[in-house]
Amino acid sequence: MAFFEQNPNGKGGLLTAFFLRAVGALALIFVFGFVSACSRDVSGTAKTADSRKKAAVPVTVATAVSKAVPEQLRAIGSVQAYATVLIRARVGGELLAVHFKEGDEVKSGALLFTIDPRPFEAALKQAEANLAKDRAQLEHARRQAERYAAVVKKGYVSEDQNDQIVSNAVALAASVRADEAAVENARLDLTYCTIRSPINGATGQVKVDQGNLVKASDNDNPMVTIKQTSPIYVVFSVPEQNLPELKRRLAVRPLDVAVSAPGNEEHPTKGELTFLDNTVDQATGTILLRATFPNQDRALWPGQFVNVTLTLNTQDNAVVIPSQAVQTGQQGRYVFVVTPEATAEYRPVVLARTVDGEAVVGIGITPGETVVTDGQLRLTQGTQVKVIKPGETAGEEKPQ
């Protein structure tokens, strides 16, 4: 629409009309451009939001399985010899021979050392001679006592003389018994000149060399130490709160124990719990246990530290998932389950325990369900997920 102002010449009115029409056209062009730009912006924003909504988060997953899982206690233990014997000389003298090499495995009764027996052989002979002399004197005294007993009643000898003869015979009988004991003692000393192993075991370092003089019963300087290593013990401690369960399980059957040296966990040695201490250590709040192992292959060695696994029971049909699938939030532990629609479902769980990198689920997961093991930090309830293989990388889908 144009407004004209009458003017005599008509020229001014035409200019005014032309100006107003130009301004109107520019206004229409601006409005059309603004509306078009807004339309494009709204359309682009919606498209981007829609793309983001549909973008899938890459995750790795695992399947919950049902299997038998052992209930176990773990500890650090030390290996102890089944028996330890410190070999000492029972008699003193010169060491004539060492009949083994350091570190040898010896059997019970094996000859270890020989001490010079000559002084003890001479002592035995002397004791035997004393015994023979006193036996002869005793025989004479007994005959004399018999003669005196026959004539004392006739008055040929006095009662006092008879009593002296009888007392002499009794004293000589006691001397003979003492001589017999001395002979036995001398024979024992002679046998002590040969030292034999009382057990099967491995010998340690020899503390005295051939040709040296050894002392009798030298407690400070044993000649060698022998340790029995088959069977062998492993001692370890567990917290006292496990004591009721241990006693209950031991009342039913012996408990299995497996040990392995650090770095050799793939080849554990199996044994049996054989000892439960009768006192709880008040300083540490633990109780001492001991397991026995056959150790026929000598895999365990005294003084060695080992990882101990004590099996209390085996839980059948336990629901197990990888422990890395379990997350901890403000309301407790949870996992993300992948639904058939490939979305993430938040699921609170209750764990029974964790064993060797696997979590035993008490409540919250059923066998066969798929749980997220990596990528949980980008998930919320209902998030679209994309399953990838472990070690594989994949970003979100880019908006078109």
Structure tokens at 124: 């035995």
> Rounded mean pLDDT of 166-184?
94
Banded model confidence at residue 264, pLDDT cuts 50, 70, 90:
confident
Query: What local confidence, expressed as pLDDT, does residue 124 receive?
Result: 96
- In-domain check, residue 154: yes
- Per the domain annotation, does 181 fall within a domain? yes
Average pLDDT over residues 207-216: 94
245 shares a domain with 171: no
Q: Could you tell me if 122 and 250 lie in one domain?
A: no
Boundary of a domain, candidates 214, 246, 281: 214
pLDDT value at 191 more than 90: yes
What is the pLDDT confidence band of residue 48, given thresholds at 50, 70 and 90?
very low
Looking at the structure, do residues 184 and 240 belong to the same domain, yes or no? Answer: no
In this predicted structure, what is the pLDDT of residue 24? 53
Number of Cβ within 10 Å of residue 209's Cβ equals 8
Mean pLDDT score, 291-311 = 94
Q: Hey, is 243 helix, strand or coil?
A: helix
Query: Regarding predicted confidence, which is higher, 44 or 204?
Result: 204
Q: Which of 188, 191, 101, 173 is nearest to 131 (CA)?
A: 173
What does DSSP assign to residue 7?
-
**How many Cβ atoms are within 10 Å of 202's Cβ, its own excluded?**
19
Of 214, 242, 277, the last residue of a domain is 214
* pLDDT, the chain, mean: 85
Strands 93-98 and 201-203: unpaired
| pLDDT per residue as tens digits for the range 75-121 | 999 999 999 999 999 999 999 999 999 999 999 999 999 999 999 99
Residues of the chain with pLDDT > 90, as a percent, come to: 65
Which residue would you say has higher pLDDT here, 223 or 21? 223
248, 393: one domain:
yes
Residues 127 and 196 in one domain: yes
189 with 273, same domain?
A: no
Task: Judge whether residue 38 has pLDDT over 80.
Answer: no
pLDDT tens digit string along 16-32?
A: 444 455 545 555 555 44
Looking at 214, 240, 261, the residue that finishes a domain is: 214
Q: Which residue has the higher pLDDT, 296 or 18?
A: 296
Instruction: Place 394 in a pLDDT band, splitting at 50, 70 and 90.
Output: low
Task: Please tell me the predicted confidence (pLDDT) of residue 393.
Answer: 64
Q: What is the CATH number of the domain that holds 266?
A: 2.40.30.170
Pair 239, 105 in one domain: no
Percent of the chain with pLDDT over 70: 84
Residue 49 pLDDT > 80? no
Task: Provide the 10 A C-beta neighbour count for residue 185.
Answer: 13
End-to-end CA distance of the chain, in Å?
46
Helices 159-191 and 118-151: crossing angle, nearest 10°?
Answer: 160
Region of poorest pLDDT, from 166-175, 259-268, 276-285: 259-268
Same-domain pairing of 389 and 250: yes
Residue 151 confidence (pLDDT) = 79
Count of alpha carbons within 13 angstroms of residue 271, beta-carbon side: 25
Handedness of CA 321, 61, 55, 395 (dihedral sign): positive
CATH of the domain at 111: 1.10.287.470
Q: Strands (DSSP E) along the chain, which ranges? A: 57-63, 65-87, 93-98, 105-106, 111-115, 194-196, 201-203, 213-214, 224-239, 256-260, 269-281, 286-293, 305-322, 327-329, 332-338, 344-348, 350-355, 358-363, 370-374, 385-387
Same domain, 93 and 122: yes
Residue 175: pLDDT over 90: yes
Of 83-97, 154-168, 218-232, the one with minimum mean pLDDT is 154-168
* Residue 233 and residue 356 in one domain: yes
Predicted confidence at residue 363, as pLDDT, reads: 92
Query: In the structure encoding, which two tokens stand for residue 349, read together?
Result: 């769980």
Q: 144-148, 212-216, 339-343, 391-395: which range is least confident on average? A: 391-395
Is residue 50 domain-resident?
no
**Rounded-to-integer distance, Cα 47 and Cα 91, Å:** 103
**Same domain membership, residue 245 and residue 126:** no
d(C-alpha 14, C-alpha 129), whole Å: 170
- 302 and 366 share a domain? yes
Q: Residue 9 above 50 pLDDT?
A: no
Number of domains the chain is built from: 2
CA dist 187 to 33, 79, 161, 183, Å? 129, 40, 39, 6
CA distances from 242 to 283, 288, 312 (A): 17, 12, 10
Parallel, antiparallel or unpaired: strands 385-387 and 57-63: parallel
Q: And the tokens for 377?
A: 């930090």
**Does residue 261 fall inside a structural domain?**
yes
In a domain, 314, yes or no: yes
Q: In the block, which residue shows the tokens 């001679």? A: 129
Q: Which domain holds residue 67?
A: 59-83+227-400
Binned at pLDDT 50, 70 and 90, residue 159 comes out as confident
Q: Who has greater pLDDT, 206 or 148?
A: 206
Amino acid identity of 182?
A
